[in-house]
Amino acid sequence: MQGSLKQRLRARDNVLGCFMTMPSPALIEVAGYAGFDFLVLDTEHGVASVETLEHLLRAASAVGVPAIVRTVGSTPGEILRALDAGAGGILVPHVVTAAQTRDIVAAAFYPPIGRRGFSASTRAGHHGFLSAKEHIERTNSDIVVMVQIEDAEALDDVDGIVGTPHLDGVFLGPADMAMSLGHPGELSHPEVLAAGRRVAEACRAAGITASTFARDTAEIASVRANGFSAGILSSVTLITTAFGTAVRGVRALGD
């Protein structure tokens, strides 16, 4: 299926994303040219400033790849900053209740859907070249809103979270979920896997996308088999793996 990222997520199409943690516009361009379906510009674990984030989003626009921003938290201010910078959507970490999810949706959309503060002079508003009407309509029809379920507490309200109107998808954070369940680093522990299945099943029932992290390209197949139509790789892992493989290959040649 082709279409906007929001349409593809809503259709639970198999899509491939990549976390971009390094604040490098050139790396964003490389990832876009490589053919990823979307990028997640990571400000939770990355170091990009607000100004740098705009440059990263410009790079994504230049190569035509959808880019959403993983925020640090769920406050309306953090969400507004990312979206005003021109992000195609948001991915909010550590969401544990339906009430919190509703607040996130409200912060992302303009009325009548939400209560996002309005400005047309931002990059998202084409610096004032979009009319207020067009800017609001584009935002309310195209913005992608996803939340992360990565705490055991969230499993108690998972049906309420995924059933939130205007939510497009959920990302299962396997490392934090394993930590929260008392199994740090054990991503294949039965309890961690069961939590993943619970999230994927809830998303399928609610008609939204379930996504999760994949450690390598081979793991994408198992991710999809477990009900996660969106697999997200790590740019850092891809780079360090390639660098390490190249160096080990040359060292093996000897002097």
- The set of catalytic residues is 45
Q: Are 46 and 23 in contact (CB under 8 A)?
A: yes
**CA quadruple 122, 126, 128, 134: dihedral sign:** negative
110, 107, 106, 103: which is closest to 140 by C-alpha? 110
Helix axes 76-84 and 98-108, enclosed angle (nearest 10): 40
Q: Are 17 and 211 in contact (CB under 8 A)?
A: yes
CA gap 102, 147 in Å, rounded:
11
